[in-house]
């Protein structure tokens, strides 16, 4: 069974509140609420484990409120005996303070409003302790994912150093970040990245929406990045796969879904991509499987893999277009 190291530098406790309509300045009553351990890398680790990959979830974790994370790892152990379920291992480095709480307000139209809290402050001792642990994990893993935002005290320079360490110890490094962290990542030789249009626009300081604009930006990347996946919400995803000095381009369009929440859909897409690449799926199978997993993710609160029959049904509805080599 393959092993993937999933790094979440700034995890969160997600409080997801579902209501009919959010009215500002008024009392709003929730129809449903859910509290869970989260963060982009942790979400991806959860999905990977359900797909049959052994996932190590690492990063920083505040010791003031780590109980909900400990419950997640403990509860997952009860499923290990189930066929096809991988391990979900706690590889976090504890730091002084509390892990942030993020509030997700979801209305009946599927529109999500995020309120992200402030978390712990990282000092140099915590950085070095984590780096030492990650080097060992990276050497033993089949692939590594770094995803999510940077915590206070962890600079873009620190992130750059982290990517240097990881790429020296593993050839399959996937990155899902935004802002200055994405700008830093684009200078490294990576396995794949998954920005959306807004994140890609921010990294290149210009508006990027069309396929041609995406390709132009990708051709400017200084690092050697094998796979670039650009997500576009309901419009699907463009996959730019390295082919010599050019890119093989695919466009996948998901089936129409009833949206409950978009939280975790991108993380699920990243997990699906990692899974498919490690399984050596052919291009069409990989992209159909990844897109179907992400499509299902918008129909649930949190992250989870659909039952086999449901997944096969979604895969059959994904449309794949070969855009050629450019």
Q: Could you tell me if 151 and 122 are in contact, meaning their C-beta atoms sit under 8 angstroms apart?
A: yes
Other CB atoms closer than 10 Å to residue 119's CB: what's the count?
Answer: 24
Nearest Cα to 86, choosing from 58, 55, 41, 43? 55
Helix, strand, coil fractions of the chain, as percent rounded to 5? 35, 30, 35
Q: In what order do the strands lie in the sheet with 12-18?
A: 32-38, 12-18, 100-106, 112-116
Taking the chain, what is the end-to-end CA distance rounded to the nearest angstrom? 36
Query: One of 180, 198, 267, 282 is an active-site residue; which one?
Result: 267
Q: Could you tell me if 226 and 241 are in contact, meaning their C-beta atoms sit under 8 angstroms apart?
A: yes
- Give the integer Cα–Cα distance in Å for 302 and 298: 9
Q: Could you tell me if 29 and 19 are in contact, meaning their C-beta atoms sit under 8 angstroms apart?
A: yes
Answer yes or no: 267 catalytic: yes
Catalytic residue numbers read 267
């Amino acid at each position: 069974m393959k092993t993937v190291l999933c790094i979440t530098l700034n995890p969160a406790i997600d409080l997801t509140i579902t209501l009919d309509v959010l009215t500002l300045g008024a009392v709003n009553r929730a129809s449903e609420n859910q509290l869970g351990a989260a963060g982009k890398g942790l979400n991806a680790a959860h999905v990977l484990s359900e797909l049959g990959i052994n996932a190590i979830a690492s990063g920083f974790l505040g010791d003031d409120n780590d109980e909900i994370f400990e419950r997640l790892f403990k509860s997952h152990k009860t499923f290990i005996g189930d066929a096809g379920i991988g391990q979900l291992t706690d590889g976090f480095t504890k730091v002084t303070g509390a892990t942030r709480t993020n509030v997700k307000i979801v209305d009946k139209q599927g529109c999500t409003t995020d309120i992200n809290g402030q978390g712990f402050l990282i000092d140099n001792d915590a950085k070095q302790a984590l780096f030492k642990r990650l080097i060992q994990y990276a050497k033993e893993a089949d692939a590594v994912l770094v995803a999510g935002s940077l915590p206070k005290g962890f600079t873009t320079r620190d992130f750059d150093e982290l990517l240097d360490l990881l790429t020296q110890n593993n050839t399959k490094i996937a990155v899902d970040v935004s802002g200055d962290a994405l700008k830093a990542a684009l200078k490294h030789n990576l396995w794949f990245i998954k920005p959306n249009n807004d994140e890609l626009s921010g990294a290149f300081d210009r508006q990027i929406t069309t396929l041609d604009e995406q390709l132009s930006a990708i051709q400017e990347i200084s690092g050697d990045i094998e796979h670039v996946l650009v997500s576009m919400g309901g419009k699907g995803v463009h996959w730019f796969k390295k082919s010599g000095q050019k890119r093989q381009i695919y466009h996948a369009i998901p089936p129409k879904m009833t949206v409950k929440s978009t939280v975790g859909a991108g993380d699920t897409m990243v997990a699906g991509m990692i899974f498919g690449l490690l399984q050596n799926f052919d291009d069409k199978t990989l992209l159909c499987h990844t897109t179907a997993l992400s499509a299902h993710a918008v129909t649930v609160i949190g992250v989870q893999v659909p039952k086999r029959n449901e997944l096969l049904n979604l895969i059959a509805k994904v449309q794949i277009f070969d855009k050629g080599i450019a």
